[in-house]
Amino acid sequence: MGRQRSLTCQKCGGTKIVIANGATRCTTCHNRWLREYYRTSETRRENQRRSYVLRKYGISLKELQDLLQLQKGCCAICLRPWQECVSAKRARYDVRFLQYLCVDHDHATGTVRGLLCNGCNTAIGMFDEDPTRFASAATYLERFAGKGAT
């Protein structure tokens, strides 16, 4: 016979549970460990990022990095370097281009068009991706360019 296992956790004093294979586990300590791993694991974040990009846009993270190089590290519309753009997503641990640039894609076909800063991506969304509305807005701004308020 093997040694008797204690059902009291040595770390926190809580009660352990018996899992399917007969081993015991303190749920409180195990959950604490999982939260810490989830919060700090670079490997987990990288795998999650890779999986999300592939699932959402159908391209690899490497292809997005190549697209960023094609765009010379800048937003495809305003041409600001991605480091100067306002972050679109909260990033506690990462300082990566995907935190600052949005993947712009055609919603009808799903084709990735480029990488845009949050401001440019939001503008396209607000104009419903309609080139006529963009042209009208540009004409409007040009008409009042350089004129002060009266």
Question: Which of the two residues, 4 and 18, has the higher pLDDT score?
Answer: 18
**What does the alpha-carbon distance between residue 75 and residue 80 come to, in Å, rounded to a whole number?**
6
Q: What is the DSSP letter of 113?
A: E
Backbone angles phi, psi at 90, to 5 degrees: -70, 135
pLDDT at 56: 92
The yes-or-no verdict on residue 63 having pLDDT over 90 is yes
Query: Quick one: which H or E segment has residue 103?
Result: strand 101-105
The yes-or-no verdict on residue 150 having pLDDT over 60 is no
Identity at 13, one-letter amino acid code: G
**What does the alpha-carbon distance between residue 83 and residue 97 come to, in Å, rounded to a whole number?**
8
Domain boundary assignment for the chain: 60-143
Residues 20-53 pLDDT 10s: 888 888 889 999 988 888 888 888 888 888 999 9
**What does the alpha-carbon distance between residue 89 and residue 101 come to, in Å, rounded to a whole number?**
9
Identity at 144, one-letter amino acid code: F
Residue with tokens 């641990």, as numbered in its chain: 93
Report the range of poorest mean pLDDT among 33-42, 49-58, 64-73: 33-42
- Please give the share of the chain, as a percent, with pLDDT higher than 90: 37
Neighbours of 100 (CB within 10 A): 22
Question: 121 in helix, strand or coil?
Answer: helix
Query: Quick one: which H or E segment has residue 57?
Result: helix 42-57
**The model scores a pTM over 0.75:** no
Residues 127-144 pLDDT 10s: 988 999 999 999 999 998
Partners of residue 12 on adjacent β-strands: none
pLDDT at 57: 92
Tokens of 126: 């607000």
CATH code reported for the domain at 60-143: 3.40.1800.10
pLDDT at 38: 82
Average pLDDT score, the chain: 85
